[in-house]
Amino acid sequence: MKALGFDLDDTIYNRLTIYEQTFDLMQVEGREAGYAVDVDFATFNHIYAQFSESEYQAFMAGKKTEAAFKNDRVILTYAHFGKEIDEDLAKKFNQAKNDFQHKLTLSDELVALMEAAMVSGQHLFVLTNGSTKAQIDKLSSLGMEKYIPQERWYISEAMGVSKPHKAAFDQIARDLQVDPHDILFVGDDYANDVEGAINAGWQAIHFAKEERENTVATCTTDDFLEIRTLITGL
């Protein structure tokens, strides 16, 4: 194996922790102001994720600005649960989320994996869907540039194509000048990360606790130490 890549959200870091912290903060303030929802975080986040995806697709299609897509997914989620919030509250939600994101740190296990890959001469990179500014902010907060140079942070908005489209994966193989079969990609999203990578001729690790039935992934694990052991045999 000559190159090792990572998805960002829910792989390099766990965004559910940030979302739950944001939800809890908004609920505390919302109980007094009247916009708290009568559901738990898991229920709220399930709907938020659906609106995030649809609004992101509108953004990538040029139908919405980045600010509009981020605010609208919050407004639509609250509306789904019967609470009308305005743009100012949506901005407050997003600002709280950003504040929690700026406190992100890399896990010791991931650092050990990347350091081992660097010692063995493997190319490291990130491939993530999202807006360029938002994803760069996250990676910078994590201190990722210490391990992966910014020119190898591949972000869908800047690339003009999103996972799981084969063109996104092909561009990286060309840039790195590495045969697709010699690239291993680690990601949590089965369709975008695993199937996308496999369809491009890469190897793929599904970053998840449980193996999916009839999986096409090279392996399934959410343990970076296990991945570190695995890459020595690839």
> Fold for domain 3-13+105-231?
Rossmann fold (3.40.50)
Residue type, 4: L
Provide the pLDDT for residue 231.
83
Q: Cα(71)–Cα(90) distance, rounded to whole angstroms?
A: 5
Provide the pLDDT for residue 233.
64
Q: What is the pLDDT of residues 85-116, one digit of tens each?
A: 999 999 999 999 999 988 989 999 999 999 99
68-103 burial, b for 16+ CB within 10 Å, e for fewer?
ebbbbbbbbbbeeeebebeeebbebbbebbbebbee
Provide the pLDDT for residue 204.
98
CATH homologous superfamily of 15-101 equals: Putative phosphatase; domain 2 (1.10.150.240)
Q: Give me 132's structure tokens.
A: 């360029």
Closest by CA position to 116, among listed 229, 205, 233: 229
Q: Domain boundaries in the chain?
A: 3-13+105-231, 15-101
Please check whether residue 37 is in contact with residue 75, taking contact to mean a CB–CB distance below 8 angstroms: no
Please check whether residue 161 is in contact with residue 167, taking contact to mean a CB–CB distance below 8 angstroms: yes
Evaluated on CA atoms 216, 217, 219, 222, the torsion sign reads negative
Provide the pLDDT for residue 6.
98
Provide the pLDDT for residue 197.
98
Provide the pLDDT for residue 160.
95
Query: Which residues does residue 198 pair with via DSSP β-bridges, in sequence order?
Result: none
Closest by CA position to 204, among listed 189, 58, 213, 214: 189
For 195, half-sphere exposure in the C-beta direction (CA atoms, 13 angstrom radius) is 9
- The reply to whether 15-101 shares the fold of 3-13+105-231 is no
- Strand stretches in the chain, DSSP E: 3-6, 123-128, 153-155, 183-187, 203-206, 219-220
**Alpha-carbon dihedral angle through residues 116, 119, 123, 124, given to the nearest 10 degrees:** 40
Under-50 pLDDT residues of the chain: none
Q: Cα(224)–Cα(139) distance, rounded to whole angstroms?
A: 18
- Residue 106, class by beta-carbon neighbours within 10 Å (0-12 exposed, 13-18 middle, 19+ buried)? middle
Q: Give me 44's structure tokens.
A: 């709220």
Q: What is the pLDDT of residues 121-154, one digit of tens each?
A: 999 999 999 999 999 999 999 999 999 999 999 9
Provide the pLDDT for residue 234.
60
Q: Cα(166)–Cα(185) distance, rounded to whole angstroms?
A: 13
